[in-house]
Structure 1
């Protein structure tokens, strides 16, 4: 159930039916979730950021309550978010992407840099041949075989629990719920990351904040590689942050994001540059 403070909507876009939630007023800030999550990943962060901004958190196409799709790819995701901006009449936005959401943000900044004022990239790797070659093979975290007795639910919980803070079953519960919505497509987002090619797509020269979380075993060591390719980027580290950083430590994230957006308000005329 959605709390009364949030305003849920649907938009019929050229890329399909998109569900999004918003709150607040002012300059628009778009939030893009990781896989296999939904807008709900930002439910604790949104009220903090919406004190000064209009915060919009969509379910990326193929996730949450947005339209399901057969063809998961970073390019497909980026196209759907750009289509949503068109439908909402938003010429330019600030954008925060977490993990998968950050990769989508890079693709958007490559295609339509003039649509983005500033980027916040959290736990976002540089997805090149080295990344694709060295990415460790993992047992599918979000895909389990259905069992008549419901044991698959416990298996799903246990597989993911090592990436989540202890004594936070509420966060794992939200994760499991989002996975169940995806059914047999729960791993398609990870496959989309593995096949994406970011080479030649980091020419955006507007203000960028990159956030690394020290207890994220998958993404933390990858973040500096992206920073190297965005010379204007500012790197901030959150100690003890884990994979669910957006909901684990929302106050810390909100403080970094708000400070960055406030300090760069005069610098966003540099958006859309080329190297």
Structure 2
């Protein structure tokens, strides 16, 4: 179970010691999880990871300079790709399936473009294509709940879950799972790491029609998923992303926000596993 998975470390050729957790069923290729803005190893929903790990070998990591990993934090998505490849090389992973969530979805797209042989299939959750209109940074209301320390339960509920009774109850259930791990927890992201990650988010969202056309180069099958009331990434962007990819399917989950994959963790895990198989 993910809640009991030990924190492991491995030193890569770039001198960074990466913290990661690995659990699940032996499977080739493994499923690599790439995290959202300010996310750590503890930010993944244990229920979601356990559902995926029932059929897959699942690996989650902290990027360089984030939480328990050493090194300098990445200021651009291209740097995050290099960082991901260094981690993969250290673990001896020639090819992976990738689940990229939010900012992790930026990295997943660029990874598939820059090193296509390293990626078999892509799951892009609550994320946007590079250069899409209206995604350069976060709105003021989102930043008011995401860009300070420490984050409280109300900030998670506001940012990740739709402002309805059903979705908010799901958010509270997620928070209960989030704090279930008592020992060997990851450490919070520093302010410097947070600011560097936001640089990457803003740079990725700079409007650029040419960048959108690059998506034609992603030839792997892609599953694009999101919540119907996401206030971090506008849901219209999920359809744009799916339409620009040569081989993509899109699913929008009801009554949910940026954390749709936590609210609908059972169904999302089933959809991901069916897609990957």
Shorter-normalised TM range? 0.7 to 0.9
SS in 1 for 2:100: strand
Query: For residues 242 and 129 of structure 1, what CA distance do their matches in structure 2 show?
Result: 19
Q: Give yes or no for contact 1:37–1:179 (8 Å, CA) kept in 2.
A: no
- Counterpart check, 1:39 vs 2:41: yes
Which residue of 224, 229, 232 corresponds with 2:247? 232
Corresponding residue number in structure 1 for 2:119: 116
Alpha-carbon deviations, 1:35-82, whole Å to 9, x = none?
111122332212111122211111122323222525421111111111
Which residue of 98, 103, 122 corresponds with 1:100? 103
Q: Give yes or no for contact 1:210–1:235 (8 Å, CA) kept in 2.
A: yes
SS in 1 for 2:19: strand
Aligned alpha-carbon RMSD (Å): 2.7
Query: For residues 237 and 106 of structure 1, what CA distance do their matches in structure 2 show?
Result: 19
Query: For residues 29 and 71 of structure 1, what CA distance do their matches in structure 2 show?
Result: 22
Query: For residues 111 and 140 of structure 1, what CA distance do their matches in structure 2 show?
Result: 34
Query: For residues 179 and 71 of structure 1, what CA distance do their matches in structure 2 show?
Result: 18
Query: For residues 158 and 93 of structure 1, what CA distance do their matches in structure 2 show?
Result: 35
- Counterpart check, 1:131 vs 2:134: yes
Query: For residues 200 and 14 of structure 1, what CA distance do their matches in structure 2 show?
Result: 33
Superposition deviation, residue 99 in structure 1: 0.7
Corresponding residue number in structure 2 for 1:218: 232
Which residue of 211, 219, 241 corresponds with 1:205? 219
Unpaired runs of 5+ residues, structure 2, are: 162-166, 180-184
- Counterpart check, 1:21 vs 2:21: yes
**TM-score, length basis structure 1:** 0.80
**TM-score, length basis structure 2:** 0.79
The number of aligned residues is 251
